[in-house]
Amino acid sequence: MKFRKIRLFLSAASLLLAIMTACPEMALAAEEADGWGVWLSLGRVFNLLLVVGVLILIARKPLSNFFAGRSESIREQLAEAQKARAEAEMKLAEVRSRMSRLDDELKEIADTAEQEARSEYGKLLAQAEQDAEKIVERSRQEIEGMTRTAKQELKLHAAELSVRLAEERIQNEISDADHERLLNRFVSKLGDNQ
């Protein structure tokens, strides 16, 4: 502590000498004005140094506390900034990692979508084939049914035509005498059955 005071005094004295050598006009002006000359300038500098020294002694502890607190605050802010920077770098690395995986994920999604589309296309094609087979089978059954109906109608029509032709032939070939004989035979058979 004493060493500091001595050092401070020597610094002040050096400063005074520097000022005096730098401003010789002040010393000469003071010498001409009255008999004090250089001593007046030295007294003023000494007064200045005394006021500065007293201010330093009085304000030393509060200034020391202020600067210590300020230094601690700066250290804490630096620590927080370093922590925030580390977190930001981690987030950046995570985002970069995600971005690098994003291309792979997009490709995987596209591949999956393409496979699903192919699978769906295959299912739709199989379903369409089944539907086509069902339609063909129904058509076949309808055709068979229509064919049977047409055959039955044709047989019925052929039978009707045969009966008409037979009637016409019988009417053309049977005479009135044959007709009367058949009628009598029919009546006699009816009479026997009763």
pLDDT for 125-160, tens place per residue? 889 899 889 988 998 998 898 889 888 988 888 888
- pLDDT score at 70: 87
- pLDDT score at 23: 62
- pLDDT score at 22: 59
What is the C-alpha to C-alpha distance for residues 173 and 168, in angstroms, rounded to an integer?
8
**Mean pLDDT of all residues in 63-83:** 89
Report how far Cα 61 is from the mean position of its chain's Cα atoms: 59
Report the mean per-residue pLDDT for the chain.
80
pLDDT in tens, 3-46: 566 666 667 666 666 666 656 555 555 455 555 667 777 778 78
What is the C-alpha to C-alpha distance for residues 3 and 47, in angstroms, rounded to an integer?
22
Percent of the chain with pLDDT over 70: 80
What is the C-alpha to C-alpha distance for residues 85 and 165, in angstroms, rounded to an integer?
115
Locate 28 and state its tokens: 């000469």
Say how many C-beta atoms besides its own lie within 10 A of residue 31's C-beta.
15
Please state the domain extents for the chain.
Answer: 142-193
Cα pseudo-dihedral 104, 109, 111, 114, rounded to 10: -160
Percent of the chain with pLDDT over 90: 16
Nearest CA among 163, 172, 191, 194 for reference residue 183: 191
For residues 85 and 170, the model is more confident at 85
Phi-psi group of 174: left, alpha or beta (phi > 0 → left; psi -120 to 50 → alpha; rest → beta)? beta
Residue 178 — pLDDT band, cuts 50, 70, 90?
Answer: confident
Residue 1 — pLDDT band, cuts 50, 70, 90?
Answer: low
- pLDDT score at 68: 86
Say how many C-beta atoms besides its own lie within 10 A of residue 39's C-beta.
13
- pLDDT higher than 80, residue 59: no
- pLDDT score at 182: 76
- pLDDT score at 32: 54
**Mean pLDDT of all residues in 171-180:** 75
3-state secondary structure the chain: CHHHHHHHHHHHHHHHHHHHHHCHHHHHHHHHHCCCCHHHHHHHHHHHHHHHHHHHHHHHHHHHHHHHHHHHHHHHHHHHHHHHHHHHHHHHHHHHHHHHHHHHHHHHHHHHHHHHHHHHHHHHHHHHHHHHHHHHHHHHHHHHHHHHHHHHHHHHHHHHHHHHHHHHHHHHHCCHHHHHHHHHHHHHHHHHHC
- pLDDT higher than 80, residue 69: yes
